[in-house]
Amino acid sequence: MARPADLELASVTKRYGETTAVDSIDLKIKAGTYCCLLGPSGCGKSSTLRMIAGHESVSDGDIVLGPEVVNGLPPAKRGTAMMFQSYALFPHLSARDNVAFPLRMKGVNKVDRSIRATDALKMVDMERYQARLPSQLSGGQQQRVALARALVTDPQILLLDEPLSALDPFLKIRVRAELKRFQRELGISFIHVTHSQEEAMALADLIIIMNAGRIEQAGDPRSIFNAPATEFVARFIGGHNVIPAGDRKISVRSDRLHVSAGGQGTPATVREVEYQGTAVFVSLVTEAGLEMMAIVPERTFYARPFEAGDAVHVHWDEADIHELAA
Ligand code: ADP
Ligand code: MG
């Protein structure tokens, strides 16, 4: 087993001609962390990951893995391994030969290749399928083979670029739990790129939220959800209302809004009511034209239900107000 290592990015920049894809980011990821790089399409997540992997050169700054600056090292010499967005396995090779492939590239002899490939397949509980071709495996099983192929080189850090995007919603949730379990068992850091806030929340010890090549906020899921640093973060992670309040800007969680027919608060009209099972999503528009969303527990809602078009009041407690940075 490789020793888990800390990773540091110091003022790392990536330019493609005129485009600055990653703009001088600083980042520390302690060994053994499940880290998600989260942000909208084009914000620089994949570029960051590819620079860590060595598949892309660094325009400026340093990538430090363990005690070593690795900028100049080729991918195979870094102690990182990458699992790609489309985890396309070689269709004409068995699961075992697919997993053994990176070892063949490294010049490992045939006997050792076979032993290590079988071990890696064991790790992802796919040993009994090792003779099968990819076409004889389900999507989830192919994904595990791809994971074994990434792990067979004994990386200190595993890099995953949107690894769940090709899976159907049910499989996504199952494989996500498996990734988390593998990461815990291996004790190495996983750096997982996603544009899904739900995925990041479910998986990460550390979420890095990126926007336009910069880091907007880094922290554990709860601290980000409870204290989004900026308007961008509050909007991107969802579940928050961004409200202009005088010369400042505040956010209030959707599940902290109170909606009532009479009483006090800001007058608003119900736009839409969406039943979601455990809760009801009530979208509102205030007299001032501000759109808001209240998440009301099912029982509370049906004690006094509303319909689209109803005039209501919306209010929130002082304690639930969160200030956003300008
Ligand atoms: P993300 O993974 O967050 O969607 P990327 O890192 O792929 O973002 O891209 C960030 C920016 O860099 C985008 O504007 C994208 O168009 C640009 N970009 C990415 N790769 C290249 C490339 N090889 N050549 C030129 N521009 C690129
Ligand atoms: Mg990408």
Measuring from atom 15 of ligand 1, which residue has the nearest CA?
42
Which pLDDT belongs to residue 66?
93
Mean pLDDT of 65-86: 88
- Residue with the larger pLDDT of the pair 164 and 63: 63
The protein residue whose alpha carbon is closest to atom 17 in ligand 1 is 21
Place of tokens 């703009």: 23
The pLDDT assigned to 171 comes to 84
Residue 97 near residue 152, CB atoms below 8 Å = no
Torsion of CA 48, 55, 34, 212, to 10 degrees: 10
Please say if the pLDDT value at position 20 is more than 70.
Answer: yes
Q: How far apart are CA 32 and CA 154, in angstroms?
A: 14
For residue 296, the CA-to-ligand 2 centroid distance in Å is: 35
Give the C-alpha distances (Å, rounded to integers) separating 94 from 81, 86, 114, 124, 139: 21, 18, 12, 16, 15
Are 39 and 49 a contacting pair, CB within 8 Å? no
DSSP-assigned beta bridge partners for residue 42: none
Segment 202-237, tens digit of pLDDT: 999 999 999 999 999 999 999 999 999 999 999 999
Q: Is the pLDDT of residue 124 over 80?
A: yes
Please tell me what DSSP assigns to residue 282: E
**Does the structure show a pLDDT above 80 at 1?**
no
Percent of the chain with pLDDT over 90: 84
Ligand 1 neighbours (beta carbon < 6 A): 16, 19, 21, 39, 41-47
Complete edge-to-edge strand list for the sheet that includes strand 248-253: 240-245, 248-253, 322-323
Grade residue 50 by pLDDT with cuts at 50, 70 and 90. Answer: very high
pLDDT reading at 106 higher than 60: yes
Distance between CA atoms of residues 121 and 130, nearest Å: 7
| Tokens read off for 90 | 């070689």
Mean pLDDT of the chain: 94
Q: Let me know: does 215 contact 25? Beta carbons within 8 Å.
A: yes
pLDDT at 86 over 70: no
Question: What's the CA-to-centroid distance between 80 and ligand 2, angstroms?
Answer: 18
Instruction: Report the pLDDT averaged over residues 28-55.
Output: 97
Query: What pLDDT band is residue 168 in, cutting at 50, 70 and 90?
Result: confident
Residue that is written with structure tokens 């205030």 in the block:
286
Mapped onto helix, strand or coil, the DSSP state of residue 289 is: coil
> What pLDDT, on a 0 to 100 scale, did the predictor assign at position 3?
78
Q: Which of 151, 78, 83 is nearest to 117 (CA)?
A: 151
